[in-house]
């Protein structure tokens, strides 16, 4: 076995680091100053801690609402919604294609009435909401807007984020519906709608998290996430949007894994990379160069063996996110390798953030690891290697072309395979899995009765269909198809009518599946 020590990204690690020349104002600067290496706010967490945004969603809207209110009562400061696969794929709960999947990996949302139940008794004008939704992001945003309006809350008071990152679905996750061209055009229209109608909403959360979960290294997470970001910004510019009209509301989503120092350096490198890319490629002002991101601890790092060890893993990962300057954070439950998190595990995960925030001292000063010879060198190396990989994507014509060529998928697959080989050879230690395996596992956790849950959700959907005005629904869906045709005809110049047409269909109680089918009828579906 080689005596050389490598980071998880394969970066050689020296036994000791010494001072290196640095141009402080150019490469670091104080927090809040370009290129934002040390943070996007001058005092970071001294004024306000990061948003503690625990991800939750399972079964029905009513059950998920109860979990939301539990977490808010225990000190959570923002919501994060997980949707079931049929909702993510634009399939109604009574479709044969949804059989066995309703409510399993997130909450089932079919119509705006489900969204009303999901958000019941939650002050939307005071609580920000993140929604992990992509192909159907415009529909779920429209539902959120309609719920607020029907409760008398103006659009200008709403804050939150839709993930809306379709490129990483083609790369790593698979919940796409439409071909890339109309999907990217739809994202540009969501940017347009949000800037005009929901100014405090983040219209996209460009996700490195799922790329990392698929097996990418930290270097690949940076390079591929920013390749996607550059594609979205370029498409929005082609649709006639001025960069500074939407760039300040772009947000990002990264993973935090176990190597504390590489992860801290990754977040610092990410801010500097993004600031320079946005300034050099698009001429963005400072507000559009600030990298704002949510972090989630690494789901793929959780182990079913000795699952209580996951408490420690999550604490290390959360500390990395905080030391790296995240704007919001989700900490995983220790039992998530076995089931959806129990209330006990979800509460402990939130308490982990609170201990770091209020007891560890990590929030007392901005960028506390700055000046570490090791962290600064890692920051520089990660940025250099990520930029080199991004240049390879540019040579292929950008993210969309690289995806079509299978470049991202092949690179990630190779990294995942090499990691697994290292684990199986014992070169990478996973405590309780390939070393220190003696110890008790927790008992299996009982699963909900998903069949009964599905029947109840189908009954609710059919009750809404029976109570709505069918003529209005038909007219609104026909108008939506016309707007979808208009977007294709407009090409890169875009069309301002598409998202408002989705809002009107939602208001008439059209379902997620009906809206998705209307768009598919004009755009087709993607088959890789």
pLDDT tens string 20-29:
999 999 999 9
**Per-residue pLDDT tens for 277-305?**
999 999 999 999 999 999 999 999 999 99
- In the chain, the N- to C-terminal Cα span, in Å, equals 40
On the question of pLDDT at 494 being above 90, the answer is no
Strand blocks (E) in 316-474: 328-330
Counting residues of the chain whose pLDDT is more than 90, the rounded percentage is: 90
Backbone angles phi, psi at 261, to 5 degrees: -75, -40
User: Is a pLDDT exceeding 80 seen at residue 441?
Assistant: no
Mean pLDDT for all residues in the chain? 95
What is the per-residue pLDDT for 1? 43
Average pLDDT of 471-489? 95
Residues 290 and 364: their CA atoms lie apart, in Å, by: 22
Q: Read off the pLDDT of residues 242-254 as tens digits, 9 standing for 90 and up.
A: 999 999 999 999 9
Q: Is the pLDDT of residue 2 over 80?
A: no
pTM of the model: 0.94
Cα Rg of the chain (Å, integer): 23
Mean pLDDT across 385-402: 98
Q: Report d(CA 367, CA 39) in Å as an integer.
A: 7
Measured distance CA(251)–CA(161) in Å, rounded: 8
Bond preceding residue 35 cis, omega within 30 of 0:
yes
pLDDT tops 80 at residue 338: yes
Asked if the model's pLDDT at residue 442 lies above 80, the reply is: no
C-alpha torsion sign, points 490, 491, 496, 500: positive
> What value does the mean pLDDT take over residues 192-217?
96
Instruction: Give mean pLDDT, residues 155-182.
Output: 96
pLDDT attached to residue 444: 67
d(CA 447, CA 450): 8
Q: What tokens does 212 get?
A: 């990392």
Which run of H or of E encompasses 401? helix 399-404
Q: Where are the beta strands (DSSP E) in 49-191?
A: 51-56, 78-82, 129-132, 160-162
Q: How far is CA 495 from CA 81, 445, 481, 518, in A?
A: 29, 49, 13, 17
Q: Nearest CA to 205 among 241, 161, 158, 168?
A: 161
Contact 57, 106 (CB under 8 A): yes
Map residue 141 onto helix, strand or coil. Answer: helix
Q: What is the pLDDT of residue 6?
A: 94
Question: How is 204-241 classified by DSSP, letter by letter?
Answer: EEEESHHHHHTT--HHHHHHHHHHHHHHHHHHHHHTT-
Taking the C-alpha atoms of residue 397 and residue 399, their distance in angstroms, rounded to an integer, is: 7
Pairing between β-strand 78-82 and β-strand 51-56 as defined by DSSP bridges = parallel
**Residue 493 in this model has a pLDDT that exceeds 70:** no
Average pLDDT over residues 338-357: 93
Distances, alpha carbon 5 to alpha carbons 1, 118, 374, 421, in Å: 11, 49, 14, 17
Average pLDDT over residues 464-475: 98
Q: What percent of the chain has pLDDT over 70?
A: 98
pLDDT at site 443 = 64
Are 454 and 103 spatial neighbours (Cβ–Cβ below 8 Å)?
yes
**Is residue 46 scored above 50 in pLDDT?**
yes
pLDDT band at 82 (very low <50, low <70, confident <90, very high): very high
211: tokens are 């790329």
CB atoms within 10 A of CB 254: 27
The angle formed by the CA atoms of residues 167, 8 and 361, to the nearest 5 degrees, is 95
At 454 the three-state DSSP class reads helix
Q: Is residue 151 within 8 Å of 179, Cβ to Cβ?
A: no
Residue 438 has pLDDT above 60, yes or no: yes
pLDDT reading at 353 higher than 60: yes
Residue range 398-417: average pLDDT?
Answer: 96
Q: How far apart are CA 346 and CA 67, in angstroms?
A: 9
> What does the pLDDT read at residue 282?
98
Tell me what the mean pLDDT of segment 347-374 comes to: 97
Alpha-carbon span 39 to 362, nearest angstrom: 14
pLDDT surpassing 80 at residue 490 = no
Confidence check: pLDDT of 189 > 90:
yes
pLDDT at 488: 83
Give per-residue pLDDT as tens, 365-393: 999 999 999 999 999 999 999 999 999 99
- Do residues 171 and 224 touch, judged by C-beta distance below 8 A? yes
Residue 521 has pLDDT above 50, yes or no: yes
């Amino acid at each position: 076995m080689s005596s050389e020590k490598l980071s998880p990204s394969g970066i050689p690690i020296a036994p000791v680091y010494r001072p290196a020349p640095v141009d402080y104002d150019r490469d670091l600067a104080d927090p809040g100053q370009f290129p934002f290496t040390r943070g996007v706010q001058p005092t970071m967490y001294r004024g306000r801690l990061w948003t503690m945004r625990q991800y939750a969603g399972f079964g029905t809207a009513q059950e998920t609402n109860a979990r939301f209110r539990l977490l808010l009562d225990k000190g959570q400061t923002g919501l994060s919604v997980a949707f079931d696969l049929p909702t993510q794929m634009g399939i109604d709960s009574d479709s044969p294609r949804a059989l066995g999947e309703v409510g399993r990996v997130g909450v089932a949302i079919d119509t705006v009435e489900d969204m009303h139940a999901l958000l019941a008794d939650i002050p939307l004008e005071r609580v920000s909401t993140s929604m992990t939704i992509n192909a159907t992001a415009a529909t779920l945003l429209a539902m959120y807007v309609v719920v607020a309006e029907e409760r008398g809350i103006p659009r200008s008071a709403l804050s939150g984020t839709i993930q809306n990152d379709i490129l990483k679905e083609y790369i790593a996750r698979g919940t796409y519906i439409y071909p890339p061209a109309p999907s990217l055009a739809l994202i540009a229209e969501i940017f347009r709608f949000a800037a005009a109608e929901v100014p405090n909403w983040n219209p996209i959360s460009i996700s490195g998290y799922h790329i990392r979960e698929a097996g990418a290294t930290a270097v690949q997470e940076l390079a591929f996430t920013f390749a996607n970001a550059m594609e979205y910004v370029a498409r929005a510019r082609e649709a006639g949007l001025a960069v500074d009209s939407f760039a300040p509301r772009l947000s990002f989503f990264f993973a935090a894994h176990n190597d504390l120092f590489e992860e801290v350096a990754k977040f610092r490198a990410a801010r500097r990379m993004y600031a320079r890319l946005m300034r050099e490629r698009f001429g963005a002002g400072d507000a559009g160069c600030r990298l704002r991101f949510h972090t989630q601890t690494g789901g793929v790092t959780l182990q079913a063996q000795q699952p209580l060890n996951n408490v420690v893993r999550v604490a290390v990962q959360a500390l990395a996110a905080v030391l790296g300057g995240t704007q919001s954070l989700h900490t995983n439950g220790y039992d998530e390798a076995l089931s959806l998190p129990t209330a006990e595990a979800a509460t402990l995960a939130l308490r982990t953030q609170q201990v770091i925030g209020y007891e560890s001292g990590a929030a007392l000063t901005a960028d506390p690891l700055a000046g570490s010879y090791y962290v600064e060198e890692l920051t520089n190396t990660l940025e250099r290697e990520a930029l080199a990989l991004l240049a390879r994507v540019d040579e292929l014509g950008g993210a969309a072309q690289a995806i079509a060529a299978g470049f991202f998928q092949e690179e990630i697959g190779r990294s995942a395979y090499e990691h697994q080989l290292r684990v199986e050879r014992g070169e990478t230690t996973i405590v309780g899995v390939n070393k220190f395996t003696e110890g008790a596992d927790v008992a299996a956790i009982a699963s909900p009765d998903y069949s009964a849950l599905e029947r109840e959700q189908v009954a609710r959907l059919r009750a809404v269909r029976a109570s709505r005005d069918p003529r209005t629904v038909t007219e609104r869906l026909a108008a939506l198809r016309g707007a979808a045709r208009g977007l294709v005809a407009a090409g890169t110049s875009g069309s301002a009518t598409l998202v408002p047409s989705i809002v009107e269909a939602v208001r008439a109680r059209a379902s997620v599946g009906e809206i998705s089918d209307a768009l598919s009828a004009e755009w087709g579906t993607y088959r890789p």
